[in-house]
Amino acid sequence: MEYRTLGQSGLKVSTLCFGAMTFGEPNDKSFMHKLGCDEATSHRLLDQGLEGGINFIDTADVYGEDGLSERVIGAWFEKVKKRNDVVLATKVRFRMGAGPNGTGASRYRIMRAAEDSLRRLKTDRIDLYQIHMQDSETPEEETLRALDDLVRQGKVLYLGASNYAAYRLVGSLWTSKTEHLSRFVSLQMQYSLVAREIEREHVPVCRDYGLGILPWSPLAGGFLSGKYNRDDAMKDDTRLGKQASAWVDLKNEKNWRVLECVRAVAQEMNATPASVALAWLMQRPHVTSVIFGARTAEQLEGNLAAAKLTLGAADVGKLDAASQLDLGYPYAFIQRVASRW
């Protein structure tokens, strides 16, 4: 397992990050649409991941009813006594209670949410505290001052953003600089061979401002695992089977061509499509760690194999070409004109 510094910090994290969205008994209110695993299985997977070299776990207060994922991780920390072997990331932003202040990134919400997460996780600190999505109703300076206070109190060590528009992210970094507040060191965004939109603006922002990129949904809900075929009937016990709209968006001609390329590269390398898709991301510029999920030991073992896989330039070129992003205006215009003038 390789370890990289998280953005412009000194924190070192594994290139694979264990996403804990599936931890805990699934129910109707679960983010995973009844596709989780129970606490005992979650603990075995955490043990297996740690043994495989993973030192980075990502969760959120909203994963599972009443912070279920955080509570499962807290119980594991209490049992194995390995809190200091793990870089722990969690998030705040989405609704966790009734009333107008049960959601958002206001100072009121953040300070209470942090204490609740610390209690559920049975820890004295959150290593990476992330805003799950920008809150357009709250001034960014208010959000940042609350986060800065948590850092000064020692309850949070590093800060991260997730699902931010590029303009909002740049504004946030400017506010942190001019107001002398703790700044984001990472950006967690959807990124995969079939979702490369962040390469238009977010990747350049992270490059220029020194943020580490943490891709989520690297296998596009399992699409890039290779278990789906064009003519297959979608099964209800799969993630995409539970999310009909996501499946409709994914099953287009371009994405099938991407999957065919992934399968071809995997066959040449005697690897799985999932490990190829993960390895491609780990070799992208400015990606620090790729967040993956697993509900079984077999899934976890397959994903861990990606850490040992290095794609050659020719294979990366094939995957890049098959998944090429339509830049749109003004990016395509800038690229075209710059090459001629």
Q: Which two tokens stand for residue 245?
A: 């709209």
Q: DSSP letters along 229-252, please?
A: -TTPPPPTTSHHHH-HHHHHHH-S
Catalytic status, residue 108? no
Torsion over CA: 214, 218, 220, 222 (sign): negative
How far is Cα 94 from Cα 131, in angstroms, rounded to an integer?
A: 9
- Residue 60 three-state SS: coil
Residue 136 is given by DSSP the state: T
> For residue 94, which of 146, 28, 163, 142 has the smallest C-alpha distance?
163
Instruction: Please confirm whether the linkage preceding 139 is cis (ω < 30° from 0).
Output: no
Question: Which residue in the list 63, 129, 158, 164 is annotated as catalytic?
Answer: 63
Strands (E), 163-217: 184-190, 212-216
- Catalytic residue list: 63
